[in-house]
Amino acid sequence: MAVHNYDVVVIGTGPAGESAAINAAKHGKRVAIIEKQVQVGGNCTHWGTIPSKALRHQVKQIMAFNTNRMFRDIGEPRWFSFPKVMERSRGTIDKQVEMRTTFYARNRIDLFHGVARFKDEHTLLVRDRQEGMEELVAKKIVIATGSRPYRPADINFRHPRIYCSDTILSLSHTPRTLVIFGAGVIGCEYASIFSGLGVKVDLINNRDSLLSFLDDEISDALSYHLRKHGVLVRHNEEYESVEGDESGVVVRLKSGKKIRADAFLWANGRTGNTDSLGLENIGLTANGRGQLSVDEHYRTAVSHIYAAGDVIGWPSLASAAYDQGLNSCNELLDKEYRFVSDVPTGIYTIPEISSFGPNERELTEAKVPYEVGKAFFKDTARAQITGDTVGMLKILFHQDTLEILGIHCFGDQASEILHIGQAIMQQEGDANTLKYFVNTTFNYPTMAEAYRVAAQNGLNRVF
C-alpha cells in the first residue's frame, strides 16, 4: 500500500473542499483532495445546486415562451418532458466538472478518487472502486464531505415512483401529478419547477406557513404564486404512510387524508456525510443529523482537524460553503480569517427570493423602530420591458438614523439585485444609509433602479 505525505488533506470536492484545497495550495502547501465519486464537484455540482438551478432556468424559459404573446405568432404553446429538460441541463454540469478538474491540475493538487476513512488523527485510508488502498498522512485535515437527503426508514425509496431530491434528477418520465413532502427550500423549488412543466403538485408542509424564516410578506407572495401555477399547498400535515404500487403512490396523512399521485418526492431534511469516515478512530462524534460541531475557527474537537460546508450544518448553502472552506484553511495557515455568519438567502423558486438581514417580525420583536421602503417591479420600466413584473424590493431601515437594517426581494433576478443592498449594509457608520440610494444615479432602465424607488418611498414615511 502506497503512503503519501501532505501538509493538508481535504475530504470532499464540493464548494467547501475546493476552496480550502486551492487556498492551501496557493499558499505553498502540499495538498491532496479526496472525492468518492468518479467526477469532482461534490453534491453541489451533481445533485444539488447546479442541476436544480439549471433545470429551473430551462423551465423558466419554457414558461416565458408559453405566456409571451409575441411568441403566438411563431406557434402554439410547447410541452416539454422532464427528461428532455433535464438533458439540456446536464450540459452545465459537464462544464462545471471540466472547469473544476482543471483547477486541481493547475494548482498541482493531488486528486484521489475513493472513500476516505480515518486510520488515526493524521492518517486517512482511501479505498477506490477496485478495492485498491492508498494511505495519506497529513499535518492538517479538512472534512468537507457535504450532506445527502435524509431518508426515513419507513419509506421505500427503492420503489420506482418514490424519489428523494437526489434521485428525482434521474426521473425518466413526466408525471401528471406529484406529491412533494417537505415545504422547505428544496420542496418549494421543485414545486415551482414541476408546476412550470404543467404537473399538478401537492406540496405538503408540516408547518403553518411556507419558509417561516422569511419576511411574512415574501412568504405570502410565494404561497400565492405557487397556488397560481397549480400547486396545492397543505399546511400542518404529517405523513402516516407512503405506499407505492404499479401505477402510482398513495400518501396517507395523520389528519386522515389520503392523496394519490403518479410520483412522490421526499424533500424534508438532510444528513451530513460522516457515517463512513471512521470518526470513532479519532474520538469525534457526529450529532443525530450526521453533522460535526466546530468552534469559531472551524476546528473540530481534534485541533488539527477542521470541518466546513454542509457537514457542519447551518446555513447549508453553497455560497456559505465556499467561504467556510476558504476561512477554515486561512485559520490553519495562520492567516487572517472570519467566521461566516452574515449570509444572504437565495431561494430559486419561480420567481426567486433573496434576503439579507432581519425581517419585519424580528425587528418588531426586538423593539427596533424601523420603517419600510417598497418598490413593486410592475412599476419599473425594465420589468415592464422584459415582462417580469411579478415581485418587489423591500428595504427595512431605522426611523431615526436611516441605517439599512434588512433587504428583502421577491421576483426575477432577486438573488442578483440583493447584493447591491448587501454591499451598502456592510459599510460602517454613516456609509450605511438609505440616502445612498437617493443620492446615487442608477442606470435606467434597470432592475437595480428599484432601490431608488424603494428609498424614496421609505423617506416619504419618515417625519
Question: What would you report as the CA-atom Rg of the chain, rounded to the nearest whole angstrom?
Answer: 24
Q: Is 251 annotated as a binding residue?
A: no
Q: Would you place residue 362 in the very low, low, confident or very high pLDDT band (cuts 50, 70, 90)?
A: very high
Q: Is 443 annotated as a binding residue?
A: no
Q: Would you place residue 56 in the very low, low, confident or very high pLDDT band (cuts 50, 70, 90)?
A: very high
Q: Is 417 annotated as a binding residue?
A: no
Q: Is 288 annotated as a binding residue?
A: no
What's the CATH code, domain 350-458? 3.30.390.30
Grid coordinates representing 145 are 464531505
Q: Is 44 annotated as a binding residue?
A: yes
The residue among 52, 68, 74 whose CA lies nearest residue 389 is 68
- The reply to whether domains 1-147+269-331 and 350-458 share a CATH topology is no
Cα atoms in the Cβ-side hemisphere of radius 13 Å centred on 230: 14
Q: Is 183 annotated as a binding residue?
A: yes
Q: Is 39 annotated as a binding residue?
A: yes
Among 3.30.450.40, 3.50.50.60, 1.10.3720.10, 3.40.640.10, name the CATH number for the domain at 1-147+269-331. Answer: 3.50.50.60
The reported pLDDT for the residue numbered 21 is 97
Question: Which residues are registered as beta bridge partners of 6?
Answer: 138
Mind listing the pLDDT tens digit for each residue in 181-212? Answer: 999 999 999 999 999 999 999 999 999 999 99
Q: Is 278 annotated as a binding residue?
A: no
Q: Is 244 annotated as a binding residue?
A: no
The reported pLDDT for the residue numbered 78 is 74
Architecture of domain 160-267: 3-Layer(bba) Sandwich (3.50)
Q: What's the predicted TM-score (pTM) here?
A: 0.94
The reported pLDDT for the residue numbered 166 is 96
Mind listing the pLDDT tens digit for each residue in 294-331? Answer: 999 999 999 999 999 999 999 999 999 999 999 998 87
The reported pLDDT for the residue numbered 336 is 84
Q: Is 14 annotated as a binding residue?
A: no
Mind listing the pLDDT tens digit for each residue in 7-28? Answer: 999 999 999 999 999 999 999 9
Q: Is 146 annotated as a binding residue?
A: yes
Residue spans per domain, the chain: 1-147+269-331, 160-267, 350-458
Q: Is 374 annotated as a binding residue?
A: no
Q: Are 110 and 4 in contact (CB under 8 A)?
A: yes
Q: How far apart are CA 220 and CA 71, in angstroms?
A: 31
The residue among 154, 184, 187, 153 whose CA lies nearest residue 168 is 187
